[in-house]
Structure 1
Amino acid sequence: MEMSEDPGIDCEAVAPPAEKGSKLTNAQKARIERNLAKAQKLREAKLVLHPFKDLASNKDGTHPEAALSQGSSVIKVQGTKYIDSGGGFLLEQPVLPTGPGLNKSGEEAPVILDDAIAIPVQYEECLECGDQFADSYLFNNFGHSVCDKCRDNDDRHALITRTEAKAEYLLKDCDFDKREPKLRYISRKNPHNVRWGEMKLYLHSQIHQRALEVWGSEEELVRQHESREDKREVGKARKYNKQMKQLRMEVRSSIYTKKTHAIHEHEFGPDTYNEEEDNYTHTCLTCPYTETYEKM
C-alpha cells in the first residue's frame, strides 16, 4: 500500500524499524495500525484536491472539460473565467482544446462550460472627466456619478452635517427624508463627544440642489434669510421691552410695599343725617374716605 504524506500521521510509527533483529511491542503495533487506518480514511475522503489534478493526470481518458467540471467550479468575472480552488482564492481558467473543433482563425476554440456564472458589470460615466468607471466612493455612498480620481473633498464634493444644512439652507427634516429622491448620507461618530449620537454627513452639492428645489432660486433663499433675521431682531426687542417692564414693576411694587406696609384704620368723625334718603354719612379724619349707612 502506498503511503500518504500527511502532517497528522506519525511516519516513524508507520515505518518498520531499521534494525531487522528488533521486535515491536504491542503498543507500537497498535499505533501503526491506527495510523494506517487514518491514512486510508484521508485518501478515501480526498481532503486535499488540487483543481488541476485531474487535468494533469487524466489517466482514465476522461475529457478535460468533464474533469474540470468534476474537480472545481468556474466563476466568470468581467468576461474572464476563474476556477474556485476551494482554498480562498481564484485561479484563471486555462483554455482547453475541444478536439477537432477549430474557430474561424484556425485556433482551437475554448471550452464553454455550462456551470459558469456571469456577473454583469454596469459602468457609469463620470460627470467631471467623462470616463467610464465601475466603482467609486461618491457613487457608492451618495449615488453621485464621479470617479475617484476626480473627487474633490475640499470644494466641489465637500460634506456637510444635517444641522449645518438646516441652518444654512433653511431645510426641514421632511426635505431630507420624505421628499423624493431621499438624500443619501454616511454616518460618522461625533468628534466632540463619542457618547453623543452619530453625525449624518451629506454631500454639499446635493444639499444645495435640494434647497433650490424647495425655495425655487438663490434669491428667494436670501430673502428668506433676511426675513427670518428681521423677525429675530423684532423678537429680541420685544423680549427686552418685556423684561424692562417687569423690572420696573418689581421696583415700583417694592417701593410701594415699604411705604404702606402698615394697615390703615379709619377714624370717622360725627355722623350726618340725610333726611331725603333717610341714611347717615360719616368721613374719616385721616383720609378722604366717606361711608354711608342706615341705622336700624
Structure 2
Amino acid sequence: MSEETNSSTSKLTIAQRSRIERNQAKAKKLKEAKLCLHPCKDVKISDNRNQTDNPFDTDPSQTSVIKVQGTKYIDSGGGFLLEQAVLPGQGTKDNTDVKASPIIDDAIAIPVQYEECLDCGDQFADSYLFNNFVHSVCDKCRDKDAEERYTLITRTEAKAEYLLKDCDFDKREPPLRFISRKNPHNVRWGEMKLYLHSQVLKRAMDVWGSEEELVRQHELRDDKREMGKARKYNKQMKQLRMEVRSSIYTKKTYAVHQHEFGPETYNEEEDNYTHTCLTCPHSETYEKM
C-alpha cells in the first residue's frame, strides 16, 4: 500500500502537491475552529440544550448560550450564532440586570392644512389640480368637468389662441405653473409644457383687458397677414414680368450719346489742341505729332 501511495505521489506535479498541502492546512484550521474555542475571560458557555430538540430552536432554556464581552449569543447548532433578545427588566442567569434603553418620544406633529374646493365647498387635503397648478379644486369636481373646464393646453397653442408672449407666462406675476410631458408626435423633440386652460384664459384677460379687445387684436393681425401676402404676391409678379419681358412690362432704355465736336483751338503756351462737343459741354484736349 505504501509503495502504491509513493508511486501515485511521485506522479503529482509540484502545483498539485502545493494545492493539496493548502487544502489540508485549510481543513485543519476549520476543524480547530469548530472543536476549539479561543480562551477568553469574558466568554461563558452554558449548555442546556437537549440533544433531541430542534437545533434551530432559539429558546435560551433549550440551547447553548455564549456570552462574549457582555453580549449574549445563542448557538443555533447550524454553524452560526444568534444574538439573544433581552426584554426590558429581564435579568440574565448570572443575576446581571440589563438596563432597557429609554424610549424617547421625539415625534413631531405635523398639522394638516385643508383647502376648500371652489366648486363644491368641501374641504380636502390633497388634489391633482392643487398640487400641480395651485388651483383649489378637489379631484371629484375635476373628474366631472375634466373635459370642459379643467382641460390642459400647450404653450404653443396658448400663444397662438390668446396672443400671449413668453414673458406673459414666466415674467408676469404670478408665473403660470405647468407640467411637463413627452411630445406624442416625436419622442426626440423637447418636452411639452401643459398649462391649465382656465388659468391661461385669466392671464389673457389680464393682458388684453376684455374678450372684445382680444378679438380686435386677432382681426388686426389677420389684416396685417393678408396685406403681407398681397405685398409678397405683387413682388413675385413683378419679378416674373421682368424675367419674361412681357408686353405689360416695358423697361426704359436709354440711347448711347454720340459726341459731335466743333472746330479745334490751339494753345501756344502748352502746345496742344482742344475741341468741344456741340450738344454737350464735354471737351477733349490732345496733341498733334
TM-score higher than 0.5 here? yes
CA–CA separation in structure 2 for the residues paired with 1:121 and 1:145: 15
Secondary structure class of the residue paired with 2:149: coil
Supply the distance in 1 between the matched residues of 2:141 and 2:157 (Cα, whole angstroms). Answer: 25
Say whether 1:154 aligns with 2:147: yes
Q: CA deviation at 1:30?
A: 1.7
Gaps of 5+ in 1: 1-24, 61-65, 74-112, 258-263, 283-289
Letter in 2 for 1:165: A
What are the within-5 Å matches in structure 2 for residues 4-23 of structure 1?
A: none
Aligned to 1:226: 219
Residue 31, structure 1, aligned to residue 34, structure 2: yes
Tell me: CA distance 1:176–1:26, structure 2 relative to 1, closer, same or farther (3 Å). closer
Counterpart of 2:176?
A: 183
Aligned residues of 1:279 and 1:292 also touching (Cα < 8 A): no
* CA–CA distance in structure 2, aligned partners of residues 127 and 181 of structure 1: 19
Matched, 1:44 2:88: no
- Contact kept, 8 Å, 2:154 with 2:194, in 1: the verdict is yes
Normalised to the residue count of structure 1, the TM-score between the two structures is 0.55
Aligned letter for 1:148? D
Other structure's SS at 2:194 match: strand
Higher relative contact order (CA 8 A, sep 6+): 1
1:193 maps onto 2:203 in alignment: no
Query: Percentage identity across aligned positions?
Result: 64
| 1:169 and 2:162 matched | yes
Unaligned runs of 5+ in 2: 1-27, 44-64, 74-81, 92-98, 265-273
Runs of 4+ in 1 over 2 A off after TM superposition: 25-29, 31-35, 37-50, 57-60, 66-70, 278-282, 290-296
| Between 26-35 and 193-202, the greater mean CA deviation after superposition | 26-35
Deviation at 1:233, TM superposition (A): 0.5
Q: Is the 8 A contact 1:157 1:204 kept in 2?
A: yes
- Alpha carbons of 1:179 and 1:292: their partners in 2 closer, same or farther (altered >3 Å)? closer
Residue number in structure 2 paired with 1:134: 125
Q: CA deviation at 1:116?
A: 2.6
User: Tell me, what secondary structure is at the counterpart of 1:122?
Assistant: coil
Point out the more displaced range, 172-181 or 126-135: 126-135
Offset from partner CA, 1:137-187 (integer Å, 9 cap, x none): 110110001111111331111000000000000000000000000000001
Q: 1:41 offset after TM fit, Å?
A: 6.5
Structure ID, larger Rg? 2
Aligned residues: 205
